[in-house]
Structures are given as structure tokens and as C-alpha cells.
Amino acid sequence: MNIQGLRRALIACVLLTSAPLGGAAAEESANPRLATVSGQGEIRAEPDQARLTLGVEAREPTLEAARTQVNRSVEGLLKLTRELGVPDRQVNSTRLNVQPEYAWLEKTRTRKLVAYVVSRSVAVDLRELDKLGLLLERGLALGANQVGEPVLDHSRRVELQREALALATKDALRNAEAMAGALGAGVGAVRSLNAAQESPAPMPAFAMAMRTMAVADANQGAPQTYQPGELVFRANVSASFDLLPATTPVAVAPPPAAGVKARP
């Protein structure tokens, strides 16, 4: 065999030897080994602000009487918010809402005007939660008779949600490392990352308790102290990481023989 023929034979051997390896690499690239896990994160914080509505409604035979009663109470509520140091930009009062009330007279088959129902409301964005009890109690004493449920919130809502998200992401990574470590493998780069956040819901039980206590003690002259509880910010993450090959074989214990209990 001449030199040219020997060269062709060597090239053919190299191609035959490398073909399976190239195929395996391509298959691995198309179907990477992944560790897919989930993670949870939770942050708890006491609310530091509340949004609530104090409404006034009056039913009187004349429009003037109902309007005077409602406006007097609303003016008192606005004065109260200023006394408590709530800036005017955080207080919003609505216009008068007038609803005539009629009775049906069967004998004459006509309607008769019997009263006027007049209402107004004051919405307050309270940034100092320790004043909530006083606002409710004194508001009731000033004539507020339509009190909505306070919606508790936190001034750092966005930051707290992100903190919960960061905790969930770290939890997902730890779960992946635990799974891979049990097999003697490692965790590589992240391939996918998805998250869902849960915003805290209002606490109606807290609002109902506040209203009950405020009604019972509105005339006692002593403001009540309320415990608002906690807001819970939760986040859930799902992630996929590259699963790196094991560096050493993992010994797997054989199953216990029949009738023999496995030791913990």
C-alpha cells in the first residue's frame, strides 16, 4: 500500500470512531439532562396603613332636613381627619346622593313622596395605623353609620413581594442541589424560571371586630387598642437547572430482605 492509500485508510478509521461520539453529543444537546424543581418563599409583616370609607346616611321627611344632617356629620368627619394629622390629599369626600322614597297608595293607585334618603361618604387613606381605632370610634360618634371594611396594606408592598420572590428562588436552587447531591451529581446553569406571587387579602374578621368594639365603646371616652395581625406575602417559583454528570458512582443500598425492617 502506498502512502496515499494509507492516508485514506487512517481518515476512514477516524471518521468511523468519532461518529458515535458526535451522535451522542448531538442527542445530549437536543435532550439535556435537567433538574426541574419548585420553591416557596414567605414574608410576614404587620400592616402600617389602611384604606377605609366612613359613610353618612339620613332619612328625613324633607330634603333640607336630611341634607343638613348629612352635611353636618361629613364636616365633622373632615375636621376629625385634620385633627388626626391626615393630609387633605389622603381624604376624599363624595357629593350628596339624594334618593326620594315613595309609598304606593292602593286606593288612589298613585305614589306618595314620604321621605328623602341622603348620603355622603368620606374615604381616608390612613398612613398611621395606630390612629385607626380612634378614627373609627370618633367617626361613629359624629354620625358615620355606613362603615366599610378597612383594607389593610403595607407601604413597602412591592419590596416585600420581591423579598418573598427572592426567597422562593433560593429555595428552588437548594431543592435542585439536594436532588442532584443525592445522586452525586451537580447543578449547572438555570434553563427556565417561572414565578407566581400572592398578594395578601383584606382581613374582614379584623374589620368586624373593630366595628363591634367601636360601637360598644364609642361613648366611653377611651380609645381602643386594636391588634391588626400580619400580612403574608407569598411567592412560588418553578425552575429547571442543568444536571451535571456524577463525578463518582453512587452506591444504592439493596432492598431489605423479607421480614426484616430497614433501619432509619
pTM of the model: 0.64
Which tens digit of pLDDT belongs to each residue from 139-164?
999 999 999 889 999 999 999 999 99
Domain 48-153 has CATH 3.30.70.2970: yes
Q: How far apart are CA 118 and CA 94, in angstroms?
A: 12
Contact status, residue 36 vs residue 239, Cβ threshold 8 Å: yes
Which tens digit of pLDDT belongs to each residue from 103-129?
999 988 999 999 999 999 999 999 999
At 245, the pLDDT band (50, 70, 90 cuts) reads: confident
At 203, the pLDDT band (50, 70, 90 cuts) reads: low
What is the average pLDDT across 15-25?
A: 47
Top mean-pLDDT range of 24-28, 141-145, 210-214, 229-233: 141-145
What is the average pLDDT across 131-138?
A: 94
pLDDT at 4 over 90: no
Which tens digit of pLDDT belongs to each residue from 25-36?
454 555 678 999
Task: Give the start-to-end residue ranges of the domains of the chain.
Answer: 48-153
Q: How far apart are CA 180 and CA 162, in angstroms?
A: 27
Q: What is the mean pLDDT of the chain?
A: 81
